[in-house]
A and B are shown apart, each in its own frame.
Chain A
């Protein structure tokens, strides 16, 4: 199993450009998440998808859209990038068996908006 994969690993954008961050998991998990992490800070939830076909806003959804394409894939789109969106973006999926709840994180996408 590859776990959670993210593409691209690095990206530089100019203000106003758009891009889509890709995330896929091969663990058959229902729930998937997008977080951002700014330097020296904890993670903040942008959007999540509790199951295929549903998405919900997290703490910091402004400036982002998401698509749960199928059970495996959950993409994050920046329609008009701003310097404030410079961050590391992590995708995660959630495993839940009894009381055992675990989130598995991808390696991250490092985004710089100039």
Chain B
């Protein structure tokens, strides 16, 4: 089945540590996105990438970094500079080529907590 796979489902970070969240899609989608969801909050865009080797900052990029070396993969690194990283992180993708297609499809998220 085609879809978006996020791993791990749960992740714990120690103070001062960088951690990387994985997002893989086999939908052949061009664009990929990372969102952060806090309790009682809407989704906030961290980074997005419309094409391999290119990405743009979203609304809350500080303390995060991404790479897009392959079309299928868009990992997110939460750096030690992100002082409040505890949240539910969601990855999404979009096929630019389908003009009648749906908007972004989402993975099932990674919950990051601080030890």
Pair from one complex = no
